[in-house]
Structure 1
């Protein structure tokens, strides 16, 4: 069984026991979070009806907060001596999926 859930502005395919990395959540390590399901596949049964999906709960446990890869930004203009260097790392949250209840 797997589900497609909305997490952090994106859709993620999740199964029970899987660890996913999503956009930053304001939750402490060990906290329980739930995600809205968009689609649920259980063997040959595919559920995509919004009324049926309103009762589906996908829960997970926050493991920790991590940082994404470093993005280097360099602005440069020729012949003027203008240079600006900047870096950025996005904040992510690692979540372990604990249950998909129908």
Structure 2
């Protein structure tokens, strides 16, 4: 089993080939190919963390579509003053299907 830890949108994601992940919005159209930098690669019993070796590893994926994340409710309240403020937020996200992890020995 081969998997990789990649940096995607300010976070690290564990990915395998064929898996679909949700990352922060990527400015690419549906069907476009994106690459992610690998931080760690596990190939069976061998674990690769060397930066020189990982520079040759490419994790590629295909953009499926754009979605909205879960709604976050923000409520500010101060008692005895009548101050209330309500706000909501939904992050724009992109779904990516991992197609290949290449360059692994």
TM-score tier (shorter): over 0.9
Gaps of 5+ in 2: none
The CA RMSD measured in Å over matched residues stands at 1.0
Instruction: Note the C-alpha offset of 1:73.
Output: 1.2
> How far apart are residue 43 of structure 1 and its match?
1.2
Residue of structure 2 equivalent to 1:11: 12
TM-score, structure 1 normalization: 0.94
- Counterpart-to-counterpart distance in 2, 1:48 and 1:59: 19
Where does structure 1 differ by over 6 angstroms across 4 or more consecutive aligned residues?
A: none
Q: Distance in 2 between matches of 1:79 and 1:45?
A: 61
Secondary structure of the 2:53 match is helix
Alignment-derived partner of residue 76 in structure 2: 75
Cα deviation, 1:47-89, whole Å, max 9, x if unaligned, reads: 1110011010100001011111111111222232222111111
Alpha-carbon distance between aligned partners in 2 of 1:11 and 1:83, rounded to the nearest angstrom: 36
How far apart are residue 91 of structure 1 and its match?
Answer: 1.2
TM-score w.r.t. structure 2 length? Answer: 0.91
Between the two proteins, the alignment pairs up a number of residues equal to 102
